[in-house]
Structure 1
Amino acid sequence: MAKILIVAMNYTPELTGCGQYTGDLGAAMREKGHEVEVVTAPPHYPGWQVKAPYRNRYSTEQFKGATIHRCPVLLRQKMGGIWRLIAPVSFALTSAPKTLWRALAWRPEVVLVVEPTLFCAPVALLAAKAAGARSVLHVQDLEVDAAFAVGHLGSAGLLKRLAFAFERACLAGFDRIVTISNRMAERLREKGLSQDKMVVIRNWVDLDHIRPLPRQTDYRTELGLPQDAYVVLYSGNIGPKQGLDVVVEAARILKDDGRIFFAIAGEGPSKAELVTRAEGLPNVRFLPFQPYERLPAFLGTCDLHVLPQLASAGDLVLPSKLGGMLASGRPIIVGAEAGTELAVFLDGAATIVAPEQPQALADGILECLAAGFGPEAQARTAALARKLSRPDAMNELEAAFLSPVTGAAGGDVVPQR
């Protein structure tokens, strides 16, 4: 059994995004008998505010057998522009002494860094070298590419060159890189990373927890959703990369169609603006995140999942919410360019429409309503959900962390399940 030190800005009990997956990863490694320590921030995502009962300061706690060291981070509610740079840099600085101390005092065999944020990489690499540990980077998000693609950092030439130079230097230092899609792996190879270092393992879903359920009419009543409506649901982070304006504008196009109702559940930096944009639309309802324990029932309240995405971020991130959508057994409509990995992966299991096009989304929703959810699409959806099985993913991740750096599949990138 190994000692694994995880350095990640986001962790349990965050309910969405990287924190959800990294927290589950830490718990799974403990289940497998490994010792786990985590250096992270207080839970703050996606609302960019520290959640009670946590405070934005140094603290240590135990959770599911793992020791979690929390370090403060500079935050404000509107996290646009330069603040999207300040927050991760502040965490990299406050977590640096804790990371070095735990590496020297605890002597882990593996130091695992989760991107975002890559700003933690230099200190984590130093810590791994000092401890004689293997260094692993888990790329959940091509952070630098995405920051410029969605406009967080503008398009300044010098800043962009510096950012990509920093990224290349960090990537070169890791013994192993794990990422979540083939297209992200291709991007990493374009940045000069050797394929021998890379493993592709998609984010997973717990099929014992999230499963197809009958239409949850009682939960609809509790949430104030119409019993007889065709409910189109988005559940997740509400931020720039999600491009949720298109959902509100599709709802505006369909506002006179009494059959269709939109539910948008979640939190994030773009929520207030989105709520303002949806004012006066009788067919839109905003909901809070639902507890993980109730997530299967919540996903069972809808008739159609909607997964929008900015065209510019199409192959830079693979939405973390996808596994739950597939496992719920409901149809899905996705905004994605043809040929992107998301569109290719979901071929035959989802309706694909042009991204950022409200009319295309509205037309697609009407098509889904008319067509229903046939047996072939149901079977394809179930098959894709099984490919994202949590036990399989955890076995592959464990092998990637601990196997010799010659490729977890004999020197090649692990094929997609």
Structure 2
Amino acid sequence: MFGLVRSVQVREVQGEVMKLLFLGINYDPEIISIAVYSSGLCDYMARHGVETKVVTAKPYFPHWRVFEGWRGPFWKRRKTESGADVVHCPLYVPRKPTGAKRILHHASFALTAAPVTLWRALVWRPDVVFVIGPSLVAAPVGWLAARIGGAKAWLHVQDFEVEAAFATGLIKEESRTGRAAKAFERWVLRRFDKASSISRPMLDKLRQKEVPEERIYELRNWANLEKVTPIEGVSPMKAELGIETPYVALYSGNLANKQGLEVLPEMARHLAHREDLTLMICGDGPMRDELVNMAEGLSNIRFLPLQPLEKLSDLLGVADVHLLPQIAGAADVMLPSKLTNMLASGRPVLATAHAGTALGDEVEGAGVLTPPGDGKAAAAAVESLLNDPTRRAEFGLTARHRALERWDMDAILGNLHIEFEKLTSRQAALVSAE
């Protein structure tokens, strides 16, 4: 079907207000992970003169259930404060997301998003259709919308979903499903006018998958440096949360199986002798109950729900050390979105990743690396940091400097806006359908 698209109309794009049609499964009011960057990108563009329309899902993450007040089989439209026009589509959300159920989950979003996306492309005629992966299953919808509407098609890869599914065991690589997933990914990646990702090793992955060099663009995640600032002394939130120990090692974010979170209870066991330390897990997701069971009998580990976004800086400031677990094999196919704000908080990061990986490169000099899955080594690294306040402070300064240097939101999104202008002004757009 996609090969039948032909040119029928010419429209000049220069001299008009730029129009951006965004397609992605995660968006505000979700407050963590990819939703933060999707919402931030669209809000920035809307505030800087780009007419922005969004097609997304009803909010469900990280709890893996649709939020209260959003349930039902209908689409919901709203206007954000920035001026972005957002349509939330219904979708299937599995309570316990297995490999097959995740595929159905993403397919259901592609199905319900398709009529809205294609209609907006046909009637509104955007300049750029910007698609976020995940969900890669919905990417053909965005590509077809761009062809129909005479727009440029841009695919931004936050996670290489197929390789992440292999690494976490959700799909077996040599199974029929695995082979089909690889073929589908390869087909999708090579059809977009522009393909971007968030780190240099992930850009190398695009090259390995035969995306032409001239189509590749580095679009890093960012930290909101106005909202996340280093806290001097003790964060006021520490007392609010009832934490009395001098030190806190913090993990905050989604609790899912692709992150190697099993290492956290193991770390807590190896650190049980440190009565001056609380290991705090702040978040929700499909692995929460399992982690609670694994931590049974440990008095030095606490589980808390996600905290309000307006308290993000205070929450991150509670940490003496940030914990960033990751499974082996995933450090080059995904870069945890939570890393940017960890670094912006001016606290050292302990990541379970190898040197030379995407995650290892970003943490180097701003924290320490230990082998994935090795709770004993991670616990020893935490203890070493707690015993060396000078080293912790040096890592923290480097972390904040790195956030300022590499992850400033205005600089990153300002450059993206310029790239949109370059992409759409190269030639007149050919709008086609047959």
Whether TM exceeds 0.5 here: the answer is yes
Query: After the TM superposition, which parts of structure 1 deviate over 6 Å for at least 4 consecutive aligned residues?
Result: none
SS of the aligned residue for 1:256 comes to coil
For residues 205 and 224 of structure 1, what CA distance do their matches in structure 2 show?
28
Aligned residue number for residue 127 of structure 1: 145
Counterpart contact for 2:343–2:396, Cα < 8 Å: no
Higher relative contact order (CA 8 A, sep 6+): 2
CA deviation vs aligned residue, 1:366-399 (integer Å, no higher than 9, x gap) = 1001112445433321221112001111112212
SS of the aligned residue for 1:233 comes to strand
The equivalent position to 2:50 in structure 1, one of 34, 50, 53, is: 34
Unaligned ranges ≥5, structure 1: 408-417
SS of the aligned residue for 1:263 comes to strand
Aligned residue number for residue 256 of structure 1: 273
For residues 221 and 378 of structure 1, what CA distance do their matches in structure 2 show?
22
For residues 244 and 138 of structure 1, what CA distance do their matches in structure 2 show?
26
SS of the aligned residue for 1:300 comes to helix
Counterpart contact for 2:92–2:104, Cα < 8 Å: yes
CA deviation vs aligned residue, 1:208-236 (integer Å, no higher than 9, x gap) = 1101012445422221212x331000001
Aligned residue number for residue 63 of structure 1: 80
The equivalent position to 1:96 in structure 2, one of 110, 114, 118, is: 114
CA deviation vs aligned residue, 1:9-48 (integer Å, no higher than 9, x gap) = 1111111111111011110001111111111101111111
AA matched with 2:421: L
1:81 CA drift (Å):
2.5
SS of the aligned residue for 1:70 comes to strand
The equivalent position to 1:327 in structure 2, one of 337, 340, 344, is: 344
Larger CA deviation: 335-344 vs 28-37: 335-344
Aligned residue number for residue 398 of structure 1: 417
The equivalent position to 1:197 in structure 2, one of 196, 206, 215, is: 215
The number of aligned residues is: 406
Aligned residue number for residue 132 of structure 2: 114
1:404 CA drift (Å):
3.0
AA matched with 1:11: Y
CA deviation vs aligned residue, 1:295-319 (integer Å, no higher than 9, x gap) = 0011111211111100121111001
Aligned residue number for residue 5 of structure 2: none
Counterpart contact for 1:262–1:284, Cα < 8 Å: yes
AA matched with 2:418: A
Matched, 1:272 2:289: yes
Matched, 1:388 2:404: no
AA matched with 2:400: A
Aligned residue number for residue 40 of structure 2: 24
SS of the aligned residue for 1:55 comes to coil
1:406 CA drift (Å):
11
SS of the aligned residue for 2:329 comes to helix
For residues 325 and 298 of structure 1, what CA distance do their matches in structure 2 show?
10
For residues 12 and 51 of structure 1, what CA distance do their matches in structure 2 show?
12
The equivalent position to 2:369 in structure 1, one of 342, 352, 355, is: 352
Counterpart contact for 2:328–2:353, Cα < 8 Å: yes
For residues 306 and 376 of structure 1, what CA distance do their matches in structure 2 show?
17
Q: TM-score scaled by structure 2?
A: 0.91
Percent identity, please: 40
For residues 392 and 185 of structure 1, what CA distance do their matches in structure 2 show?
20
Unaligned ranges ≥5, structure 2: 1-16, 427-434
TM-aligned CA distance change 1:217 to 1:7, over 3 Å: closer
Aligned residue number for residue 432 of structure 2: none
Q: TM-score scaled by structure 1?
A: 0.94
1:159 CA drift (Å):
1.6
AA matched with 2:422: S
AA matched with 1:7: L
SS of the aligned residue for 2:170 comes to coil
| C-alpha RMSD of matched pairs (Å) | 1.6
